[in-house]
């Protein structure tokens, strides 16, 4: 089935569809708003934590959008099978190319602009702040959540799918990693956090881990807030925070510290 042309009403793009109402995203498309599309066997896992706190508020206010695509709807046969045994033998099951292909085609239909297609995979490039900054500047992104032993390699090759990893470990599926990727990206969209300065001072934004933070009470369990932070001297406070960020980065993340030093030398 091909998509029918959308009608534009201001920022809202309303698409006629034959898709059952319960499978639709409850809010209409907003023109020009960053959007995450997720292909998953567990659409009920979303928005999950993304629907809470500031990201949830921003979602309700239309600062970003979320759409889930139920992979099971593209399954083969009466039982909607989505996987099969690995070619050549081995344990587990692999998501089928003839299931993933139609799901990707429908999900990406009509998409324009800078819109990466990403597969959450432990063999992908590890997520970092620079990646999130780049994704926040895109028009949106489509995330493919794997399950079982992974997906048919031909799908990744055919669609030029980018592989992205949450870390050097394996989980049962890509949904948690997808939520982490979306959260870290959405919070960089202007207006989501309310105070843009907070994203400029946090870990990795300057190439360093973030300095320690304190708040009331002034003394807790015999531990006072560092005196310099109570001095009101903004220059000294800035110097202390930068020094602490360097010390923590050098101690805890030598890899990040080496990259920081190289960037300072170049």
CATH architecture entry for 202-265 = Orthogonal Bundle (1.10)
Q: Please report the beta strands in 129-266, taking only residues with DSSP state E, as ranges in sequence order.
A: 140-145, 162-165, 219-220, 223-224
- pLDDT exceeds cutoff 80 at 10: no
Structure tokens given for 135: 């994704």
Contact 258, 247 (CB under 8 A): no
| Residue 178 Cα distances to 22, 37, 87, 156, 174, angstroms | 22, 10, 27, 17, 6
The topology (CATH level 3) of 7-186 is Alpha/beta knot (3.40.1280)
Residue boundaries of the structural domains of the chain: 7-186, 202-265
Query: Rounded to whole angstroms, how far apart are CA atoms 61 and 40?
Result: 25
Residue given tokens 């620079």 in the structure block: 130
Contact 94, 83 (CB under 8 A): yes
Q: Which residues contact 122 (CB under 8 A, 6 or more apart)?
A: 165, 166, 167, 168, 169, 170, 171
- What single DSSP character describes residue 107? H
Max Cα distance, the chain (Å)? 71
**Band (71; pLDDT cuts 50, 70, 90):** very high
DSSP SS3 for 68: strand
Query: pLDDT digit string (tens) for 29-48?
Result: 788 999 999 999 999 999 99
Query: pLDDT digit string (tens) for 194-253?
Result: 866 565 666 676 889 999 999 999 999 999 999 999 999 999 999 999 999 999 999 999
Query: Rounded to whole angstroms, how far apart are CA atoms 266 and 262?
Result: 6
Contact 14, 120 (CB under 8 A): no
The model's pTM: 0.83
- pLDDT exceeds cutoff 80 at 109: yes
């Amino acid at each position: 089935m091909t998509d029918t042309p959308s009608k534009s009403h201001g920022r809202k793009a309303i698409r006629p569809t034959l898709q059952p109402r319960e499978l639709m995203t409850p809010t209409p498309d907003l023109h020009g708003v960053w959007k995450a599309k997720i292909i998953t066997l567990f659409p009920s896992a979303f928005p999950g934590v993304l629907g809470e706190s500031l990201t949830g508020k921003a979602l309700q206010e239309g600062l970003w959008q979320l759409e889930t695509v139920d992979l099971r709807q593209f399954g083969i046969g009466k039982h909607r099978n989505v996987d099969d045994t690995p070619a050549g033998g081995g344990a587990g099951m692999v998501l089928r190319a003839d299931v993933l292909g139609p799901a990707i085609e429908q999900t990406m239909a009509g998409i324009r602009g800078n819109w990466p297609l990403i597969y959450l995979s432990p063999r992908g490039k590890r997520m970092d702040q620079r990646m999130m900054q780049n994704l926040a500047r895109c028009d949106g992104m489509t995330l493919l959540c794997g399950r079982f032993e992974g997906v048919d390699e031909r799908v990744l090759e055919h669609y030029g799918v980018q592989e992205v990893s949450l870390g050097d470990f394996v989980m049962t599926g890509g949904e948690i990693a997808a939520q982490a990727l979306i959260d870290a990206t959405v919070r960089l969209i202007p207006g989501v956090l309310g105070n843009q300065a907070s994203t400029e001072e946090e870990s990795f934004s300057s190439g360093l881990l973030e300095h320690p933070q304190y708040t009331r009470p002034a003394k807790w369990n015999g531990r006072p807030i560092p005196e310099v932070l109570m001095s009101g001297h903004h220059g000294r406070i800035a110097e202390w925070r930068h020094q602490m960020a360097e010390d923590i980065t050098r101690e805890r993340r030598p890899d990040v510290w080496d990259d920081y030093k190289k960037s300072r030398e170049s």
